[in-house]
Amino acid sequence: MNNIPLHVAFIMDGNGRWAAARGKARRAGHEAGAEAVRALIKNAEAAGIKFITLYAFSNENWQRPEGEIKDLMRLLSKSLDEFDKTSRENNARFLVSGRRDRLPPDVLKKIDKITAATAGNKGLTVILALNYGARQEITDAVNALMSAGKKNVTEDDISAALYNPAAPDPDLIIRTSGEERLSNFLLWQAAYSEFYFTPVLWPDFDKAELEKALAVYAARKRKFGNI
């Protein structure tokens, strides 16, 4: 396919509804969601995408019941172990976007280990948005610039002070489950992103669904404010 986006960001929504539709606990939906992430990493790489960002846990998600937060952190910890192994074979690079506060020490330890171990990898870059909020990211950037003594701040200054300044802005943002909003995700970086919304629930977002989204993107005309 022509016109493959360099960077695709995913709002992985609908795990709970997927589980409810099967009479299962929400945890089963998140497990199926993690399985979909595993497949996505392979499929995105095969499609020629260079960066993916996954909205895994927002800073508003701390409001969820304690049991669900524990389940998500456990699943995340397990997924990090798997990524650690697979990145040796597929040469993928791992980065995290978000605040470190409130994350369990074992998760932080794994993040640091994998980030360091994969820093030189040249394959797909996988960015996990974890304990992430876009307004917080922009506020953190502005505060960092003020602490550095800046009196006047430019757009480039803010871009350079975000959590992952080296990642290009997402060309395409995909949200599953029929919801059509950004939910405090990449507000700065999404200025010229294309959006793709699908009613498909995240655990069902497979290779065919990714290809559909890429075909829609390929047909879009991006003008970046020009004519």
Q: Which of 155, 186, 225 is nearest to 58 (CA)?
A: 186
209 near ligand FPP (CB under 6 A): no
Q: Which residue among 14, 98, 133, 170 contacts ligand FPP (CB under 6 A)?
A: 14
Please say if 61 is a catalytic residue: yes
51 pairs with which residues across the strands? 7, 125
At closest approach, how far in Å is the CB of 31 from ligand FPP?
Answer: 8
56 near ligand FPP (CB under 6 A): yes
Rg (CA), the chain: 17
Q: Which residue among 8, 9, 28, 34 contacts ligand FPP (CB under 6 A)?
A: 34
Q: Report yes or no: 205 and 155 within 8 Å, Cβ to Cβ.
A: no
**Cα–Cα distance list, 163 to 29, 34, 159 (Å):** 29, 24, 9
At closest approach, how far in Å is the CB of 143 from ligand FPP?
Answer: 27
167 near ligand FPP (CB under 6 A): no
Judged by CB under 6 A, how many residues of this single chain contact ligand FPP? 19
**What part of residues 63-82 is at the interface with ligand FPP (CB under 6 A)?**
75-76, 79
94 near ligand FPP (CB under 6 A): no
Order the strands of the 51-58 sheet from edge to edge: 93-97, 125-132, 51-58, 7-11, 172-175, 194-197
Distance CA(199)–CA(209), nearest Å, equals 11
Question: Which of helix, strand or coil describes residue 190?
Answer: helix
Question: Which residue in the list 3, 43, 59, 61 is annotated as catalytic?
Answer: 61
Distance CA(128)–CA(130), nearest Å, equals 6
Q: Which residue among 37, 44, 111, 213 contacts ligand FPP (CB under 6 A)?
A: 37
Distance CA(56)–CA(50), nearest Å, equals 19
- Of the pair 145, 196, the CB lying nearest ligand FPP is at 196
- Of the pair 8, 54, the CB lying nearest ligand FPP is at 54
Active-site amino acid positions: 13, 61
Residues forming contacts to ligand FPP in the complex (CB under 6 A) are 12-17, 30, 33-34, 37, 54, 56, 61, 75-76, 79, 128, 177, 202
